[in-house]
Amino acid sequence: MILKTLVVGPIQSNCYILGCERTRQAAVIDPGGDVDKILKALAKDHLRCVYIINTHGHFDHSGENKRLKEVTGAQLIIHRADAPMIVHQATSGGIWGMEVENSPPPDRYAEEGEWITFGDVSLKVLHTPGHSGGGISLVTDKMAFVGDTLFAGSIGRTDFPGGDHEALLRNVREKIFPLGDDVVIYPGHGPRTTVERERKTNPFFA
C-alpha cells in the first residue's frame, strides 16, 4: 500500500492519500486545502483517486471536496450526520475569515462497520462521534485514520455544534484503544502516534 501524508490549508490539517500499488486506485482522506498539492502527489505515483473520504464535516477537512471531485470524478463519502455541514461550509469558513467553496453532497454515506475497498486496500469504517456528530475513523493494516477524534497527547475539541465530550472519550476507549497497542494513529492534525502511547500517556485517558 502507498501512503502519503500532506499538511494542507491554513489550519494545517493532515490529508492522507492511500493507494493500491497494483491497480493505482487511491482514496484521499480529508482534502482540507491545497488541491493542487494533492493532485501533484497523486500524479507523482500515477494514482487515480476513486474515493474522497471526509472523517468529519468541518471545512478544514473537506474544503477542497468540490475541486478534487471535479478533477478526479471520485465518489465522495462522509457520515450522514455530518453531510449537511459540507454543503454549507462556505458560511462556516467565512466565520473564521477563510474563503471556502461549498462541497457537493456525498455520493454515499459511511456506515459503521462497512468496508471501503479500492484495489487491494480496504478501510473499515468506525463511527467515532464526539468532535462532531458524524466523525468516523478508518482502519486498515495496523493503521487508524481518526480525524480530530484523537491527537498525540490530546483529543479533539468538543465545543463545536454536535460535539460531545463524554461520547468522544467513550468512543476512543471502546473503539480505538481495542484495535491494539501496535496500531499507528494518524490524526487530523499534528504528528502520528500509537494506541499504546495514547492509552498510557494521554492526559485524557492515562
The CATH number assigned to the domain holding 176 equals 3.60.15.10
CA 155/CA 168 separation, integer angstroms: 8
Total domain count for the chain? 1
Q: Please indicate, yes or no, if residue 110 is contained in any of the structural domains.
A: yes
Contacts for 161 with CB less than 8 Å, ≥ 6 apart? none
Task: For residue 192, report the phi and psi dihedrals to the nearest 5 degrees.
Answer: -70, 165
Nearest to 49 by CA among 112, 97, 4: 4
Q: Please indicate, yes or no, if residue 90 is contained in any of the structural domains.
A: yes
C-alpha cell belonging to residue 23: 491497480
Residue 100 DSSP SS3: coil
The pLDDT, as a whole number, for residue 94 is: 61
| Contact in structure between 12 and 63 (CB atoms under 8 Å) | no
The pLDDT, as a whole number, for residue 173 is: 98
The pLDDT, as a whole number, for residue 92 is: 72
Q: Please indicate, yes or no, if residue 206 is contained in any of the structural domains.
A: no
Q: Please indicate, yes or no, if residue 47 is contained in any of the structural domains.
A: yes
pLDDT in tens, the chain (206 residues): 999 999 999 899 999 999 999 999 999 999 999 999 999 999 999 999 999 999 999 999 999 999 999 999 999 999 999 999 999 987 776 666 777 889 999 999 999 999 999 999 999 999 999 999 999 999 999 999 999 999 999 999 999 888 999 999 999 999 999 999 999 999 999 999 999 999 999 999 97
Residue 86 DSSP SS3: helix
The pLDDT, as a whole number, for residue 1 is: 94
Query: The whole model's pTM is what?
Result: 0.95
Contacts for 41-48: CB closer than 8 Å, 24+ residues apart: 41/4, 41/6, 41/17, 42/17, 42/72, 45/2, 45/4, 45/19, 47/2, 47/17, 47/19, 48/24, 48/72
Q: Please indicate, yes or no, if residue 92 is contained in any of the structural domains.
A: yes
Domain assignment of residue 124, given as a range: 2-201
